[in-house]
Amino acid sequence: MDYNFDELKYIMEKASACYEKVKEEEEEKKYEPLSSFNFFKIISNQYYKENFHSDILKFLLENFPVFLDSFLELIEVDKNNYKNYSVNREEGRIDILIKSSTHAIIIENKMNWAEDQDAQIYRYYKYVKENLKSKLEPESELIIEKIVYLTPLGDYPSKKSLGYDFDKKDTKKNEYIKDIESKLINVIAYYVKDIDNEKKYLLPCLEKTLKKEVNEDREDREEYRFFLKNYIDILKERGIQIMSTSTAATKFLEDVKNSGDDNVMDKITNTKAILDTLQDARLDFFKKGLSGSKVSYSCCYKTYEYDDKDACHLMISVGSALAETRIFIIYGDYFYHWENQKSEGRKNYETKQNELIEILKEKGIVNDNDFTQHNDNLAIYHNKMFKPIIEDEEALDVALKLHDLLSNFKF
């Protein structure tokens, strides 16, 4: 593939222009937030992630009877089957499992376009079918009423997720897949303008719940109303961002069609090929800069001995091709599961991490202004997020200075 920067630049400028135009149009139609203050944005930057929304949905289903009833009505399930119910997270690795003494609903959350795993939906169905029994009829399995596939814009699970990659002679699996398809239902998670009434949307369930809370106007429920308003705003804001991108893509395609350039799709394909490998190229840049560093998925890192047992990891996280770069120092084996707050031995790691931070501060390697200890995991991280590509050299320069200090210092 011949690389032509002018062509790449032209295509990206056209796409950017379409996106900016759509943003201007959307700004004119922007909704008014229900609350001027949104605590989700203050306490976390995780509201693009599935786990965040799964935890919220569990809370909603457990604490708002109107939301539960609205949700069950939305997916066409008899609420009388769930008079006594529980909502479980990660049981059998299922995102959300609603179950009563006789019935069950599986919810697979794909609000961040997470990729389908092999036989994912099939495995969840099989787990409930073969492992969970009816409390009223101990010899019978729970009746799986619906499998909810929660997505941003209405996508359905892939054949891979449903378990189609298998021996067709497996009669039992054939029966399971047929039953899965009959019970599968898609629910759109985010706000979408000009709603298609034939599709199913989560947002009206929340709005109905808020209306009920407002009408009751009980002082002891004030925090619950505030919570609902904030979450509705998050879904609306995210939905507008998604639709803006989708509309911009449509406008860009219209421009491409009208460009009169017979080779424009070849140029776009070449541009995509470059962008698809950009993350690997950036990781390679950091790996060469920190000679001897290791690369793992979206980061490169070096290891330094500490306490003659474990290691201190200096990690440069790139995230994705166009995402900011961040520098972390993570203590020991916790590197491999550092975002898991419930990991076994966490307290032990916390003690060692705190020791390490104090040593680094005493030696002037880090200070309170440059690095912060993360509250949710065992990492200290550079306060600056380095702009993608443009500031990669600066990020590497900071990492090299830390490397020189760490490698020359005996802990």
288 in the same domain as 230: no
Name the pLDDT band for 411 (thresholds 50, 70, 90): low
324 in the same domain as 389: yes
User: In Å, what is the CA distance from 10 to each residue of 23, 221, 250, 282?
Assistant: 20, 54, 18, 22
32 within a domain of the structure (yes/no): no
Give tens-digit pLDDT for 119-160: 889 999 999 999 988 887 777 888 999 999 998 877 778 888
- Domain end, chosen from 197, 216, 242, is at 242
Pairwise pLDDT comparison (374 vs 267), residue with the higher score: 267
The token duo for 38 is: 């949104």
- Domain end, chosen from 190, 219, 242, is at 242
pLDDT > 70: percent of the chain: 81
302 in the same domain as 397: yes
Q: Within a 10 A sphere around the Cβ of 190, how many other Cβ atoms?
A: 21
Q: Give just the sign of the alpha carbon dihedral 250, 253, 258, 259.
A: positive
199 in the same domain as 70: yes
Q: Give the Cα separation of 202 and 185 in Å (integer).
A: 12
Query: Quick check: 360 and 329 in contact, CB under 8 A?
Result: yes
334 in the same domain as 202: no
Q: Classify strands 143-151 and 103-109 as parallel, antiparallel or unpaired.
A: parallel
CA 106 from centroid of its chain's CA atoms: 19
- Tell me if residue 3 falls in helix, strand or coil: coil
pLDDT reading at 308 higher than 70: no
209 in the same domain as 117: yes
- pTM score of the predicted model: 0.56
What does the pLDDT read at residue 26? Answer: 67
314 within a domain of the structure (yes/no): yes
Q: Within a 10 A sphere around the Cβ of 150, how many other Cβ atoms?
A: 21
Q: Please classify residue 132 by burial: count the beta carbons closer than 10 Å to its beta carbon, then call 0-12 exposed, 13-18 middle and 19+ buried.
A: middle
289 in the same domain as 211: no
306 within a domain of the structure (yes/no): yes
Query: Quick check: 127 and 94 in contact, CB under 8 A?
Result: yes
131 in the same domain as 236: yes
Which span out of 3-7, 180-184, 218-222, 292-296 was modeled with the highest average pLDDT?
180-184
pLDDT reading at 200 higher than 80: yes
286 in the same domain as 178: no
Residues 6+ apart with CB under 8 A from 160: 116, 118, 119
211 in the same domain as 297: no
Structural domains in the chain (count): 2
Name the pLDDT band for 41 (thresholds 50, 70, 90): low
- Domain end, chosen from 197, 215, 242, is at 242
400 in the same domain as 309: yes
Least confident of 1-10, 41-50, 290-299, 373-382: 41-50
Q: Give the Cα separation of 51 and 112 in Å (integer).
A: 10
The mean pLDDT value of the chain amounts to: 80
Long-range pairs, 389-392, Cβ under 8 A, ≥24: 389/282, 389/322, 391/325, 392/282, 392/285, 392/286, 392/325
Q: Within a 10 A sphere around the Cβ of 232, how many other Cβ atoms?
A: 20
31 within a domain of the structure (yes/no): no
Print the domain residue range for 283: 278-407
Q: Give the Cα separation of 101 and 81 in Å (integer).
A: 9
264 within a domain of the structure (yes/no): no
273 within a domain of the structure (yes/no): no
12 within a domain of the structure (yes/no): no
Pairwise pLDDT comparison (100 vs 36), residue with the higher score: 100
What does the pLDDT read at residue 193? Answer: 59
pLDDT reading at 42 higher than 50: no
308 in the same domain as 232: no
255 within a domain of the structure (yes/no): no
Query: Quick check: 326 and 338 in contact, CB under 8 A?
Result: no
What does the pLDDT read at residue 307? Answer: 67
